[in-house]
Amino acid sequence: MKLNGNTIFITGGGSGIGRALAEALHQRGNKVVIGGRRRAQLDEVITANPGMEAVEIDMTDPVSIDRVAQHLIATYPALNVLINNAGGMLPDDAAGRIDDALLLSTVTTNFIGPVRLSSALVEHLKSRDDAVIAYTSSVLAFVPLALTAVYSATKAAVHSYVLSQRFMLRDHNVRVLEIAPPWVRTDLMNSREAEQAMPLDAFISETLAVLGSDADEVLVDGAKLFRANPGAGEHDLVNGFNAQMVPVLSQR
């Protein structure tokens, strides 16, 4: 991905990784628009970063997603990069009764919402040069944390969707990237003071270095051991399987 001269929409841009990534890309000469539910947080970020803009979006609401997508296309026709970063992480109990509200909120915010937003913008992105759809997943997509079983499962779903979407867009001018952070010092799970977690500034610095390369998966060094869990042949297996099956099933 080129690191300057883009028009970028980042969800979850009011705090944590989303804010830090938005600010870093803004400083590199990109037009950055952030999205989130909390207007006060969004206003704080754009006040601190003159030239950055913000829109309110509820990733659990399909009406909000469609409205924002239409607004982005009309207001920022040069939009060529979507970074699906918004997410929620709460502990659950896979050995007991899962709270239904937590289940639905986590699945909708972390998986269904990004799929809806990408779907709403993909035709526009196909018309842009240097187009990118990126998703923030997690190393927990590869090695789940049992205390956050639902969250981990949603990130595994994001990873699976990325593999399929990347294959289906292989003949279009849209790259599909996956950013898989390790434990980072953010507000998720009250991790700001966690000594074992990676400092946010270090994560962003390493992430930008990989993001500017030809890599489809954006992995900092601390994430690579987790990513190795499914095996190095995963991409070849997925692509070979789909190259064989998609033409056959498309004729049905």
CB neighbourhood size of 193 (10 A): 7
The neighbour count for residue 95, using CB atoms within 10 Å, is: 8
Q: Residue holding tokens 């991790």? A: 191
Tell how far CA 60 is from the center of its chain: 15
Question: Three-class SS of residue 133?
Answer: strand
Looking at the DSSP bridge assignments, the partners of residue 10 are: 34, 83
Helix pair angle (113-126, 62-75), 10° resolution: 30
Q: Which of 76, 135, 151, 161 is catalytic?
A: 151
- Does the annotation count 135 as an active-site position? no
Q: Please list the active-site residues.
A: 151
